[in-house]
C-alpha cells in the first residue's frame, strides 16, 4: 500500500497535466476572441463527457492490468511533461513569453469556473451513487480518483479545513502571478470575470440545498488560558540555569573520566560563563537525550580556545588613497622571479641531486593490542634481559672494583715509598687525594653492585611469574626461555676475598673516623679556648661596670649585655670499631653476593616450544587468528609529504615485522623533517594510523655504509579492546586472579632504521651545500632545530633541553610541543647524537664581526661606550667624531688619569694628606652608594610622566567655591606659586638667580679717625652675658664722639655667585634700605642640567656688605671750587654665605640673616644707642651683630630631585618599624608641616632607628683641659670644635640620592657632614659633659629642615646651632631656628603637638604628654636599643708640623691668587705688617675672636702709625683651598687700585685633635698717609 501511494503521488502530476492542457487549448483560443460564455458551458460539458470516457477506460485498464502495468503507463505522459519549454509553447500556440503568462492567468480563471462545473458534476454524481453499473469504479474509488487527480481546489466539506488551507496557498500563488500580466489581458480578464460571475450565481442557486451538507455551523474557537498554558508547556521549554548533575550527562553507570588527570593533553577550553554553559547543557539534554554532546568528563565537548592571548593591531589604512588609488593603473616593471624559499636549490648553487638513503629494516612491537598476558611478560623479560646484557657488557662494578684495588695499592706504596724523591708534604697530599677518591669509588661500586643485584632479582621474578602464568593457562605463546647458569667459584678463595674486602673497608672507615675525630677535637679545643677567654673578659667587664656605676650613680646600669652567652663546648665522642664493622657487614650483605652463593648468569633463549593451535583454548585461538589477519606497513614522509611506503607485511606471531627496504630519496629541498607513519591493516578494512615516528636528519658526516642502525621508539594512544585473549591497548588488565595490580599498556614499538647521505659515483657525499642551509635559518627556525640549521648542529645540550622540558612541565601531549618532545626523545634515546662537550654561547663566534681587541682599540667605540656608561667626563659629549683619527688622544687623558689615580693619594690639590685620603674615601663611598641605587633611580612614578589634576576633596572644592566670591584685586595679594620646571630641557642662560636685598640692621659704623678706644664690639656674645644680661655695660656716652651730621656709614651690597658680581646702589646709615633685585645667571657644571647634576652644585652665593668711602684726593685746595676729585674706596664689612644647594632645595629663601662680621673690623664700631633710644626691650637690644633681610630664589623654579622612594632593608625589629610608621602617619596627619623623624638611613643604606645615634661620647681631652672648672666655657669650646668640622650637604656628596646619617666616628673620619651629623656629635658631647641635651629637628633659615641641639641650662633652654657653634636663648628673636618639629633623646622621641611651633612660643617640657607626643610610652616601652655609635671616640693628636706646613702653602697660594686678580697693577707686600699680623692671629684663635680689638688696634697703631689700614681677619673651618680663595676674593681687598697700595696677608692654622683645622686669614691693605 505504501508503495502504491507513492506511485499514485507520482502519477498524480502527469495525469493532472493532461486535462489542463486540453482545457487550456480551448480556453485560450476562446480568450482572445472574447467568445460569449454560453459556448463555454457547453464545451465544459463536452469536456466533462470526454473526460469521463477516458476515465472509465483508464479505470478499466487498471482493473484488468496489474499494478505494474499502471507503472508502465507513467512513462508515456512523463516525456511530455519534461519537454523543453519551446515545445510546450508550440503546443499552447503562443510564441512569446508574455503571452504564456497571460495564458496562465486565464487558465486559472478557467480552472475556477471549471471547479464549479465539477461541483455540479459531483453533486450530480452523488445522486446516482447507489446504482453503480458493473465495470464502473465504485463510488469511493471514483471519489478518490477525483480528489486525487483534480484537486487543486477545495472540494468536500469533510476536508474543509485542509482544503481551505490549500486553497489559501493556491490563492497566494495566484496573486503572485496575477500581477505581471499585460494590460490587454487584464481587461479581458475583467470582462470574463463578470461573465463568470453570472455563471457562478446560477450554479450557486442550483447548489443551494447542497451547501448544508457541506457547511457545519460551530461556535468560534476559543482556548482557555489554562489550556493555552498547558499547550505552551507542552510546546515550549525554558532551560534551567541549574547545574546539571554529572550522572545525567553520562551514560548509565559510568564514572566521569578526566583525561587531564590521566596525563592526556586537553586543550584550553574557551571561557564561557557557567550559567550559559548550564543553559546549554539543559537544552541539549532536553532535545537530545543521547548525550553525545558530552565528553567523558561530563562536560560539553569543546574545541580548544582559538583566541590568541595577545592582541594584534590591524594595519593602519590610509584612507585618502582608498578609492582613487585602487582604480589607478600602476606600472610595474617585470621582475624575474627569484625563489624566495630556501628549500629549493637556487640557480647559484650547483644543480643538486642529493640523496638521502633511508633503510628501514624492521619493526618490533613492544606492546600490541593482540599481546596475550604472556606476551606482556615476555616483552618485559626481554627488556630486562637487554638491560642486563648492556650492564654486563660494561661491567662497571668490576671496573670500579679494579680501580679501588689499584687505588689501595697506590696508597700502600705511597705510604711506604721505596724512593722518597718527593717531599713528604706532596706525598701526604697525594695520599689524601687518593683516599678521598677511594671513598668515592667505593660508594660508586656499592651502588653499582646493588643495581646489578636488583636487576638480577627482577629478571628472576619476572621469569617466575611467566612460568606460573604458563602453568595456569596451560599453554605457551612465546618461545622465550630463561636459563640460570650457576658458576661455582672456589669457595674458600671467595670467602677470603670477601673477608679481605670487608676488612679493608673497615680499616679505611676507621681511618676516616679517626681523622674526623681529630678534626673535631681540634675544633673543640679552640672553641673551649675561646669560651674561657670570653668568660674571663666577661668577669672583668662586670667588675668594670660596677666601678663605673659607682662613679656615675645616675647613669643607667640596666643595660643588657649585647653579646649572647657562649655555650660551653662539649668534646666529641670517639668512634667504635665494632659499630663500624657491623655497619660494613650489613651493607655488604645487602649489596654483594655472599661468598657461599654461586654466581648466577641468566641466559635467555628462544628454545621453548609454542603450544600448537589445536591444544589451545578457544579465546587463544581466536587471538592467534586475529594476529594473522593483521599486517603493517610504513609510510615515509619527507618534509611532511609522502614520498614512499613499504610493502605491507603480515604481523608475525612474535610481533616482529621485517621490511628490509632501502629508500633512496632524491631530494632538492633541505630536509626539515623526516617522518615514518606506521599503519596497521586488519583483514580487508582500511589501514589505520598507529603512530608517527620522527627520524632525525643525519649529520653531514653520516654517509651510507657508516650509518649505524638505530631504533626509534614510537607509541600510539589508541584504545583497543578485544574480545579474545589479547589484552588490548589502553585498557587496564591484571595478572592477578582478583583483578588487583592493574596495568595499562599502550601500543608501542620500535622501528629499526638507518638514515644516511648517499655517496655519489666519484665518492662525494650527496649532501646539500651548507650555504643552502644557512639561508634557511629563519624559516626553518620554527620547524626544525634553529641551531642545526645555522650550521653548528649537534652542539646543543639535549640533556639540558630535556631537563628544562621536564622542569618547565611542558605538556608532552600538547600537539604544539610535539616537535620539541620528539627532538628530545630522539636525542636522549640515541646516545650517539649527544656530543660529550657543551659549548657556551656557541653562536657568539658567528655573530662577532670584529674581534674584541679590535673593538677596544677603536677610539670611537670607546668614546661611545664610555658615554653610554655615563662616565662623568663623557656624559654630555656631543657629536662623537666619525673617524678614529679625528678623536684626540687628549680626550681620554683626564679620564685615564683619574682611573690611575683612584688609589694613589695625591696631595697637590688637597695639600693636607688626611683630607686627600678622606676625599678619596668619600668618593668611593659615593660611587658605591650611587651604584647601589642606580636601578632605583630609574624607577618612575606616574607623576613623573604625566601631569594630572588632583581629585579635589571637599575642602578644596569649598575653597574654590569660596574663591569665586573673592575680590578680583585684593588689597593684600597672596603670593602665587610659580610653575615648576623640570630640569631636563634647560640650557645655559635659562636659569637665573634672583637676589632681592631688602634692608639691613645695625651695620657697623665708621669711627672717627681720631682713635679713642671704645667699648669693644662683639660679633658673638659671651656665654656669661646670656644669663647676666646687662645692657648697662653700653654707656651711651661714647656716642658723643660722633660729629653730628656726619654720615656714619655708606653701605652697599655686592652679591657674587659663580664669579659673577652684582651690586646695589649705596645707601646711607647703619640701617639702610635698598629694596633692590639683583639678577645673576646660573651655569650648571658641564652644561648638564639634570637633577643629579644640579644637586651636586657646590657653589655658594656670597652676599658681601661694603662701606663705600669717598676720599677727597684733591691735591690743591684752589681747585676745590671747580672740580671734584674723589677716590672711592670700599671697605668690607661682612658677608652672608648661602650655598646654592640650599636655594635649590628650598626654592626660595626669605628672611633676616645675621651678617658674618669679622671679629676685628678696624675703624668700625657698632652703634647701639639708637636701639636703646627707640625703646626696644633688653632682649631685643641684646642681639648683637648686624642683620640683613634677603629674598633669594631661582627663576624659573626648578623641581628639586626627590630622594629615593625605595624602602631600605633594616636590622630593626619589625614591630618597631611598624610602630615608627604608625607614629609618623599620626604625626603627619596632625601637623603635616612639622618634621618628624623616627628612622634614618645610615651610610651603608640600611634603616636605623634614630635614637641609636645618641649616646654620650667623650670630647677631646685637650678641650676639656682648657677650662677644667668652667663647664659653660667648655661647652662653648666643644661647640666651636664641632662647628670647625666642615659642612658638606649630603645632597652634594651623595648626588641627591638620600639623606644619609653617618655615625660620629664616621663623621670625624670623613671630616664632612651636614647639619644632622654636626648636631648628633654636639649632642653626644653635651650628654657626655653631663648636660641634658636633645636633638632638635625643625626648620631654620636659611637651611630649611635642619637639626639643632637643645640643652637645659640652669633653668633655661638653650638652642645651639651646631654648624656655627652659636647658642641662642629660647626667647632670642634672632634665633635662626623658626619652628620645632620634634625632639630626640637617647631613649625617646617627642613630637611637638602644641599649637605653635616657634621656639619662643612653646614649652620644652617633654614630660607633659599634652604638649609632646612621645614615641615610647607605657603602651610601647623603650626596648633598650643598643647604640650604633662607638664605645668611645679616639682622637689622634694633631700634627703641628703638618699644620705649619699647610699654613705656609696656603699663604703662598693666596698671595699668588691676589696677584693674579690684579693683573694690571703692581702688588706690593708689606712684610713688616704681615709679620705683625701673623703674630696677632694666634691670639685671635685663643680668644675665639673676642675681646681683642682694642689691644690689637693699639698695637697696630703703634707699629703702623703712618699707614691708613683696612683689613680684617677671616675665620673658617678648613676643608679645601677653594673656599678660602673664594672667601678672600669675596672681600674684595684686591680691588683697591690706589697706586701706592701695599698688601699684607697672614695665615694661621690652629690644629685641633682629629685633624680639625681652624684657619685664620688676615688680609689687609695699607696706604701710606702722607
Partner 1 sequence: MATASPSVFLLMVNGQVESAQFPEYDDLYCKYCFVYGQDWDPTAGLEEGISQITSKSQDVRQALVWNFPIDVTFKSTNPYGWPQIVLSVYGPDVFGNDVVRGYGAVHVPFSPGRHKRTIPMFVPESTSKLQKFTSWFMGRRPEYTDPKVVAQGEGREVTRVRSQGFVTLLFNVVTKDMRKLGYDTGPSDTQGWSGPNPPQRFPQ
Rule CB under 8 A: say whether 865 interacts with partner 1: no
Question: Cell 639540558 maps to which residue?
Answer: 800
Q: What is the gyration radius of the CA atoms in the chain, in angstroms?
A: 58
- Residue 1201 CB, shortest distance to partner 1, in Å, is 14
- Residue 870 CB, shortest distance to partner 1, in Å, is 12
Rule CB under 8 A: say whether 947 interacts with partner 1: yes
Q: Which is nearer to partner 1, 164 or 978 (CB)?
A: 978
Q: Which is nearer to partner 1, 338 or 942 (CB)?
A: 942
Beta strands in 656-726 (DSSP E): 656-667, 674-682, 688-695, 710-715
Q: What is the DSSP letter of 723?
A: S
Q: Which is nearer to partner 1, 330 or 764 (CB)?
A: 330
Q: Is 142 helix (H, G, I), strand (E, B) or coil?
A: helix
Q: Is 1351 helix (H, G, I), strand (E, B) or coil?
A: strand
Q: Which is nearer to partner 1, 326 or 738 (CB)?
A: 326
- Residue 938 CB, shortest distance to partner 1, in Å, is 7
The three-point CA angle 41-45-50 to 5° equals: 145
Among 1356, 1287, 1361, residue whose Cα is nearest residue 1323 = 1361
Phi, psi for residue 1287 in degrees, rounded to 5: -95, 130
- Residue 1093 CB, shortest distance to partner 1, in Å, is 15
Rule CB under 8 A: say whether 338 interacts with partner 1: no
- Residue 333 CB, shortest distance to partner 1, in Å, is 9
Q: Which is nearer to partner 1, 416 or 940 (CB)?
A: 940
- Ranges of H-type helices in 563-669: 577-591, 618-629
- SS3 string, 955-976, reads HHHHHHHHHHCCCCCCCCCCCC
Pick from 952, 1081, 1423, 1424 the residue near partner 1 by CB under 8 A.
952
Binding mask 985-1004 for partner 1 (x = CB under 8 A): x-------------------
Rule CB under 8 A: say whether 120 interacts with partner 1: no
- Residue 960 CB, shortest distance to partner 1, in Å, is 10
* Residue 1333 near residue 1327, CB atoms below 8 Å: yes
- Ranges of H-type helices in 1096-1233: 1140-1146, 1169-1174, 1178-1182, 1214-1230
Q: Which is nearer to partner 1, 2 or 882 (CB)?
A: 882
- Residue 325 CB, shortest distance to partner 1, in Å, is 8
Rule CB under 8 A: say whether 879 interacts with partner 1: yes
Pick from 271, 940, 1123, 1268 the residue near partner 1 by CB under 8 A.
940
Cell of 928: 658605591
Pick from 877, 1034, 1176, 1267 the residue near partner 1 by CB under 8 A.
877
- Residue 320 CB, shortest distance to partner 1, in Å, is 7
Q: Which is nearer to partner 1, 316 or 606 (CB)?
A: 316
Residue 1267 CA, chain-centre distance (Å), reads 64
Cell of 1244: 651603608
Q: Which is nearer to partner 1, 558 or 947 (CB)?
A: 947
Rule CB under 8 A: say whether 320 interacts with partner 1: yes
Pick from 96, 319, 423, 1233 the residue near partner 1 by CB under 8 A.
319
Pick from 200, 682, 834, 880 the residue near partner 1 by CB under 8 A.
880
Rule CB under 8 A: say whether 951 interacts with partner 1: yes
Rule CB under 8 A: say whether 867 interacts with partner 1: yes
In the range 720-759, which residues lie near partner 1 by CB under 8 A? Answer: none
Q: What is the DSSP letter of 137?
A: P
Question: Cell 634614630 maps to which residue?
Answer: 1250
What's the start-to-end Cα distance of the chain, in Å? 160
Give 457: exposed, middle or buried? Use CB within 10 Å, 0-12, 13-18, 19+. exposed
Cell of 879: 657629536
Measured torsion, CA atoms of residues 209, 214, 217, 222, in degrees rounded to the nearest 10: -170
Distance between CA 462 and CA 472 in Å, rounded? 15
- Residue 866 CB, shortest distance to partner 1, in Å, is 12
> Pairing between strand 992-1001 and 1187-1195?
antiparallel
Rule CB under 8 A: say whether 347 interacts with partner 1: no
| Selected range binding partner 1 among 507-515, 772-780, 937-945, 964-972, rule: CB under 8 A | 937-945
Q: What is the largest CA-CA distance in the chain?
A: 181
| Selected range binding partner 1 among 150-158, 487-495, 949-957, 1135-1143, rule: CB under 8 A | 949-957
| Selected range binding partner 1 among 268-276, 613-621, 720-728, 878-886, rule: CB under 8 A | 878-886
**Which residues, in sequence order, are CB contacts of 644 under 8 Å at separation 6+?**
635, 636, 663, 665
Q: Which is nearer to partner 1, 647 or 956 (CB)?
A: 956
| Selected range binding partner 1 among 203-211, 823-831, 979-987, 1261-1269, rule: CB under 8 A | 979-987
- Helix (H) or strand (E) holding 1475, with range, is helix 1471-1487
Q: Which is nearer to partner 1, 205 or 941 (CB)?
A: 941
- Residue 1359 CB, shortest distance to partner 1, in Å, is 41
Distance between CA 24 and CA 42 in Å, rounded? 16
* Residue 242 near residue 282, CB atoms below 8 Å: yes
Task: Determine how many CB atoms are found less than 10 A away from the CB of residue 1316.
Answer: 25
Rule CB under 8 A: say whether 837 interacts with partner 1: no
Q: Which is nearer to partner 1, 650 or 952 (CB)?
A: 952
- Residue 951 CB, shortest distance to partner 1, in Å, is 6
Distance between CA 401 and CA 367 in Å, rounded? 38
* Residue 875 near residue 863, CB atoms below 8 Å: no
Pick from 218, 226, 292, 878 the residue near partner 1 by CB under 8 A.
878
- Residue-wise DSSP of 321-382: THHHHHHS-------------TTS--SSS----EEEEEEEEEEEEEE-TT--HHHHHHHHHH
Rule CB under 8 A: say whether 954 interacts with partner 1: no
- Residue 1216 CB, shortest distance to partner 1, in Å, is 32
Among 229, 227, 232, 234, residue whose Cα is nearest residue 286 = 234
Rule CB under 8 A: say whether 849 interacts with partner 1: no
Pick from 430, 829, 876, 1152 the residue near partner 1 by CB under 8 A.
876
In the range 882-911, which residues lie near partner 1 by CB under 8 A? Answer: 882-883, 886
Distance between CA 957 and CA 950 in Å, rounded? 11
Rule CB under 8 A: say whether 596 interacts with partner 1: no
- Helix (H) or strand (E) holding 925, with range, is helix 913-932
Rule CB under 8 A: say whether 140 interacts with partner 1: no
Q: Which is nearer to partner 1, 736 or 889 (CB)?
A: 889
- Residue 328 CB, shortest distance to partner 1, in Å, is 9
- Residue-wise DSSP of 66-77: -HHHHHHHTTTH
- Residue 953 CB, shortest distance to partner 1, in Å, is 11
Number of residues that bind partner 1 (CB under 8 A): 32
| Selected range binding partner 1 among 580-588, 940-948, 966-974, 1185-1193, rule: CB under 8 A | 940-948
- Residue 882 CB, shortest distance to partner 1, in Å, is 5
Cell of 1513: 681677619
Distance between CA 155 and CA 372 in Å, rounded? 75
In the range 387-416, which residues lie near partner 1 by CB under 8 A? Answer: none
Q: Which is nearer to partner 1, 981 or 1538 (CB)?
A: 981
Rule CB under 8 A: say whether 864 interacts with partner 1: yes
Q: Which residues bind partner 1 (CB under 8 A)?
A: 316, 318-320, 330-331, 864, 867, 876-883, 886, 938, 940-942, 944-949, 951-952, 982, 984-985
Amino acid at each position: 500500500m505504501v508503495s502504491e501511494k507513492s506511485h499514485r503521488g507520482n502519477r498524480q502530476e502527469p495525469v493532472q497535466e493532461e486535462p489542463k492542457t486540453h482545457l487550456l487549448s480551448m480556453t485560450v483560443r476562446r480568450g482572445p476572441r472574447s467568445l460569449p460564455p454560453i459556448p463555454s458551458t457547453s464545451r465544459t460539458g463536452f469536456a466533462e463527457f470526454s473526460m469521463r470516457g477516458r476515465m472509465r477506460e483508464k479505470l478499466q485498464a487498471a482493473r484488468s492490468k496489474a499494478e505494474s502495468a499502471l507503472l508502465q503507463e507513467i512513462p508515456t505522459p512523463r516525456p511530455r511533461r519534461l519537454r523543453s519549454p519551446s515545445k510546450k509553447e508550440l503546443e499552447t500556440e503562443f510564441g512569446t513569453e508574455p503571452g504564456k503568462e497571460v495564458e496562465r492567468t486565464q487558465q486559472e480563471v478557467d480552472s475556477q469556473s471549471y471547479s464549479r462545473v465539477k461541483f455540479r458534476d459531483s453533486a450530480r454524481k452523488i445522486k446516482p451513487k447507489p446504482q453503480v453499473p458493473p465495470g464502473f469504479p465504485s463510488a469511493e474509488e471514483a471519489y478518490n480518483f477525483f480528489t486525487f487527480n483534480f484537486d487543486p481546489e477545495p472540494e468536500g466539506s469533510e476536508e474543509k479545513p485542509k482544503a481551505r488551507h490549500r486553497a489559501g496557498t493556491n490563492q497566494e500563488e495566484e496573486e503572485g502571478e496575477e500581477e505581471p500580466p499585460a494590460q490587454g489581458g487584464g481587461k479581458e480578464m475583467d470582462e470574463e470575470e463578470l461573465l463568470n460571475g453570472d455563471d457562478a450565481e446560477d450554479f450557486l442557486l442550483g447548489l443551494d440545498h447542497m451547501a448544508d451538507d457541506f457547511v457545519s455551523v460551530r461556535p468560534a474557537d476559543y482556548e482557555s488560558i489554562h489550556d493555552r498554558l498547558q499547550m505552551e508547556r507542552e510546546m515550549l521549554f525554558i532551560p534551567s540555569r541549574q547545574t546539571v548533575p554529572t550522572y545525567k550527562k553520562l551514560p548509565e553507570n559510568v564514572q566521569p573520566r578526566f583525561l587531564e588527570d590521566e596525563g592526556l593533553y586537553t586543550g584550553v577550553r574557551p571561557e564561557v560563563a557557567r550559567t550559559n554553559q548550564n543553559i546549554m547543557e539543559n537544552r541539549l539534554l532536553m532535545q537530545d537525550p543521547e548525550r553525545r554532546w558530552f565528553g567523558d568528563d561530563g562536560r560539553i565537548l569543546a574545541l580548544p580556545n582559538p583566541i590568541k592571548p595577545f592582541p594584534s593591531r590591524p594595519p593602519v589604512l590610509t584612507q585618502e588613497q582608498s578609492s582613487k588609488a585602487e582604480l589607478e593603473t600602476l606600472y610595474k616593471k617585470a621582475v624575474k622571479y627569484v625563489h624566495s624559499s630556501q628549500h629549493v636549490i637556487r640557480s647559484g648553487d650547483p644543480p643538486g641531486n642529493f640523496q638521502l638513503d633511508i633503510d628501514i629494516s624492521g619493526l618490533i612491537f613492544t606492546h600490541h593490542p593482540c599481546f596475550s598476558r604472556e606476551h606482556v611478560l615476555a616483552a618485559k623479560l626481554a627488556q630486562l634481559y637487554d638491560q642486563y646484557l648492556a650492564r654486563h657488557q660494561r661491567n662497571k662494578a668490576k671496573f670500579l672494583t679494579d680501580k679501588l684495588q689499584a687505588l689501595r695499592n697506590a696508597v700502600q706504596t705511597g705510604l711506604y715509598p721505596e724512593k722518597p724523591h718527593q717531599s713528604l708534604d706532596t706525598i701526604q697530599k697525594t695520599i689524601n687525594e687518593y683516599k678521598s677518591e677511594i671513598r668515592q669509588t667505593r660508594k660508586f661500586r656499592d651502588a653499582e653492585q646493588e643495581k646489578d643485584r636488583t636487576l638480577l632479582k627482577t629478571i628472576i621474578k619476572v621469569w617466575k611469574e611467566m612460568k606460573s602464568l604458563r602453568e595456569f593457562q596451560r599453554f605457551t605463546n612465546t618461545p622465550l626461555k630463561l636459563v640460570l647458569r650457576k658458576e661455582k667459584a672456589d669457595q674458600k678463595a671467595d670467602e677470603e676475598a670477601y673477608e679481605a674486602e670487608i676488612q679493608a673497608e673497615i680499616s679505611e672507615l676507621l681511618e676516616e673516623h679517626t681523622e674526623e675525630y681529630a678534626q673535631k677535637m681540634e675544633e673543640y679545643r679552640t672553641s673551649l679556648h675561646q669560651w674561657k677567654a670570653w668568660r674571663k673578659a666577661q668577669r672583668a667587664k662586670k667588675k668594670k661596670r660596677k666601678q663605673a656605676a659607682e662613679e656615675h650613680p645616675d647613669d643607667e646600669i640596666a643595660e643588657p649585655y649585647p653579646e649572647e652567652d657562649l655555650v660551653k663546648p662539649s668534646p666529641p665522642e670517639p668512634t667504635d670499631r665494632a659499630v663500624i664493622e657491623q655497619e660494613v657487614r650489613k651493607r655488604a650483605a645487602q649489596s654483594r653476593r655472599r661468598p657461599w652463593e654461586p654466581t648466577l648468569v641468566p641466559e635467555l633463549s628462544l628454545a621453548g616450544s609454542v603450544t600448537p593451535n589445536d591444544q589451545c583454548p578457544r579465546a587463544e585461538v581466536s587471538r592467534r587468528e586475529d594476529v594473522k589477519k593483521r599486517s603493517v606497513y610504513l609510510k615515509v614522509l619527507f618534509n611532511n609529504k609522502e614520498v614512499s611506503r613499504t610493502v605491507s607485511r603480515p604481523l608475525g606471531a612474535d610481533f616482529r615485522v621485517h621490511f628490509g627496504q632501502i629508500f633512496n630519496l632524491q631530494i632538492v629541498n633541505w630536509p626539515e623533517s623526516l617522518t615514518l607513519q606506521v599503519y596497521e591493516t586488519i583483514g580487508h578494512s582500511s589501514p589505520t594510523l598507529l603512530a608517527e615516528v620522527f627520524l632525525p636528519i643525519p649529520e653531514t658526516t653520516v654517509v651510507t655504509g657508516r650509518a649505524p642502525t638505530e631504533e626509534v621508539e614510537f607509541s600510539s594512544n589508541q584504545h583497543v579492546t578485544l574480545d579474545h585473549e589479547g589484552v588490548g591497548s589502553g585498557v587496564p588488565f591484571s595478572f592477578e586472579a582478583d583483578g588487583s595490580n592493574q596495568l595499562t599498556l599502550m601500543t608501542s614499538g620500535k622501528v629499526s632504521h638507518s638514515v644516511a647521505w648517499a655517496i655519489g659515483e666519484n665518492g662525494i657525499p650527496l649532501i646539500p651545500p651548507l650555504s643552502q642551509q644557512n639561508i634557511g635559518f629563519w624559516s626553518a627556525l620554527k620547524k626544525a632545530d634553529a641551531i642545526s640549521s645555522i650550521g653548528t648542529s649537534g652542539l646543543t645540550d639535549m640533556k639540558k633541553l630535556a631537563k628544562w622540558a621536564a622542569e618547565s612541565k611542558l605538556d608532552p601531549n600538547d600537539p604544539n610541543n610535539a616537535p620539541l618532545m620528539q627532538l628530545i626523545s630522539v636525542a636522549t634515546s640515541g646516545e650517539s647524537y649527544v656530543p660529550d662537550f657543551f659549548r657556551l654561547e656557541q653562536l657568539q663566534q658567528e655573530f662577532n664581526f670584529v674581534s674584541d681587541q679590535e673593538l677596544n682599540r677603536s677610539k670611537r667605540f670607546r668614546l661611545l661606550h664610555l658615554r653610554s656608561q655615563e662616565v662623568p667626563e663623557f656624559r654630555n659629549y656631543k657629536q662623537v667624531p666619525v673617524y678614529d683619527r679625528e678623536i684626540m688622544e687628549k680626550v681620554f687623558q683626564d679620564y685615564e688619569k683619574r682611573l690611575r689615580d683612584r688609589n694613589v693619594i695625591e696631595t697637590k690639590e688637597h695639600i693636607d694628606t688626611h683630607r686627600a685620603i678622606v676625599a678619596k674615601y668619600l668618593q668611593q663611598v659615593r660611587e658605591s652608594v650611587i651604584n647601589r641605587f642606580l636601578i632605583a633611580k630609574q624607577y618612575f612614578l606616574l607623576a613623573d610622566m604625566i601631569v594630572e589634576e588632583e581629585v579635589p576633596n571637599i575642602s578644596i572644592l569649598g575653597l574654590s567655591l569660596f574663591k569665586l566670591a573673592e575680590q578680583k584685586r585684593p588689597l593684600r595679594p597672596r603670593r602665587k606659586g610659580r610653575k615648576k620646571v623640570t630640569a631636563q630641557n634647560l640650557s645655559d642662560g635659562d636659569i637665573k638667580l634672583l637676589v632681592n636685598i631688602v634692608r639691613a640692621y645695625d651695620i657697623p659704623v665708621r669711627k672717627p679717625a681720631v682713635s679713642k678706644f671704645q667699648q669693644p664690639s662683639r660679633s658673638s656674645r659671651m656665654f656669661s652675658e646670656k644669663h647676666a644680661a646687662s645692657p648697662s655695660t653700653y654707656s651711651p656716652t661714647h656716642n658723643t664722639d660722633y660729629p653730628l651730621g656726619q654720615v656714619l656709614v655708606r653701605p652697599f651690597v655686592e652679591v657674587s655667585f659663580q664669579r659673577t658680581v652684582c651690586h646695589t646702589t649705596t645707601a646711607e646709615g647703619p640701617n639702610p634700605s635698598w629694596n633692590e633685585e639683583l639678577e645673576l645667571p646660573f651655569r650648571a657644571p658641564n652644561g648638564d642640567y639634570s637633577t643629579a647634576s644640579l644637586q651636586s652644585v657646590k657653589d655658594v652665593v656670597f652676599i658681601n656688605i661694603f662701606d663705600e668711602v669717598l676720599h677727597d684726593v684733591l691735591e690743591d685746595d684752589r681747585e676745590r671750587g671747580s672740580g671734584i676729585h674723589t677716590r672711592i674706596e670700599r671697605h668690607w664689612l661682612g658677608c652672608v654665605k648661602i650655598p646654592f644647594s640650599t636655594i635649590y632645595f628650598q626654592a626660595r629663601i626669605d628672611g633676616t640673616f645675621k651678617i658674618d662680621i669679622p671679629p676685628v673690623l678696624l675703624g668700625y664700631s657698632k652703634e647701639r644707642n639708637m636701639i636703646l633710644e627707640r625703646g626696644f626691650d633688653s632682649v631685643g637690644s641684646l642681639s648683637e651683630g648686624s642683620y640683613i633681610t634677603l629674598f633669594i630664589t631661582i627663576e624659573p623654579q626648578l623641581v628639586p630631585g626627590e630622594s629615593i622612594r625605595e624602602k631600605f632593608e633594616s636590622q630593626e625589629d619589625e614591630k618597631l618599624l611598624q610602630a615608627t610608621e604608625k607614629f609618623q602617619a599620626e604625626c603627619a596627619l596632625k601637623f603635616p608641616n612639622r618634621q618628624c623623624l623616627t628612622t634614618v638611613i645610615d651610610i651603608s643604606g640600611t634603616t636605623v632607628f634614630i635614637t641609636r645615634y645618641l649616646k654620650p661620647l667623650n670630647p677631646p681631652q685637650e678641650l676639656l683641659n682648657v677650662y677644667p672648672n668652667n663647664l659653660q666655657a667648655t661647652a662653648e669650646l666643644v661647640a666651636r670644635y664641632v662647628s670647625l668640622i666642615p659642612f658638606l650637604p649630603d645632597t652634594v656628596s651623595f648626588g641627591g640620592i638620600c639623606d644619609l646619617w653617618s655615625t660620629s666616628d664616621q663623621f670625624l673620619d670623613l671630616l664632612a657632614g651636614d647639619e644632622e651629623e654636626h648636631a648628633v656629635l654636639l649632642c653626644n658631647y653635651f650628654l657626655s659633659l653631663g648636660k641634658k641635651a636633645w636633638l632638635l629637628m625643625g626648620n631654620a633659615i636659611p637651611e630649611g629642615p635642619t637639626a639643632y641641639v637643645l640643652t637645659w641650662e640652669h633653668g633655661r633652654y638653650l638652642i645651639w646651632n651646631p654648624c656655627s657653634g652659636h647658642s641662642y636663648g629660647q626667647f632670642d628673636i634672632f634665633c635662626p631656628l623658626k619652628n620645632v618639629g620634634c625632639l630626640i633623646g637617647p631613649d625617646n622621641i617627642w613630637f611637638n603637638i602644641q599649637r605653635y611651633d616657634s621656639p619662643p612660643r612653646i614649652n620644652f617640657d617633654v614630660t607633659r604628654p599634652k604638649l609632646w607626643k612621645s614615641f615610647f610610652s607605657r603602651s610601647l616601652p623603650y626596648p633598650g636599643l643598643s647604640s650604633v655609635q662607638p664605645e668611645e671616640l679616639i682622637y689622634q693628636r694633631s700634627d703641628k708640623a703638618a699644620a705649619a706646613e699647610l699654613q705656609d702653602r696656603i699663604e703662598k697660594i693666596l698671595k699668588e691668587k691676589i696677584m693674579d686678580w690684579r693683573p694690571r697693577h703692581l702688588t706690593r707686600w708689606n712684610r713688616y705688617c704681615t709679620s705683625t699680623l701673623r703674630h696677632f692671629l694666634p691670639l685671635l684663635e685663643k680668644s675665639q675672636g673676642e675681646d681683642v680689638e682694642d689691644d690689637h688696634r693699639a698695637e697696630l697703631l703703634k707699629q703702623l702709625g703712618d699707614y691708613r689700614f683696612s683689613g680684617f681677619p677671616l675665620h673658617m673651618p678648613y676643608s679645601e683651598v677653594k673656599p678660602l680663595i673664594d672667601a678672600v676674593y669675596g672681600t674684595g681687598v684686591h680691588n683697591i687700585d690706589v697706586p701706592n697700595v701695599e698688601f699684607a696677608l697672614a695665615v694661621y692654622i690652629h690644629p685641633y685633635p682629629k685633624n680639625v683645622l681652624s684657619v685664620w686669614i688676615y688680609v689687609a691693605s695699607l696706604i701710606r698717609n702722607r
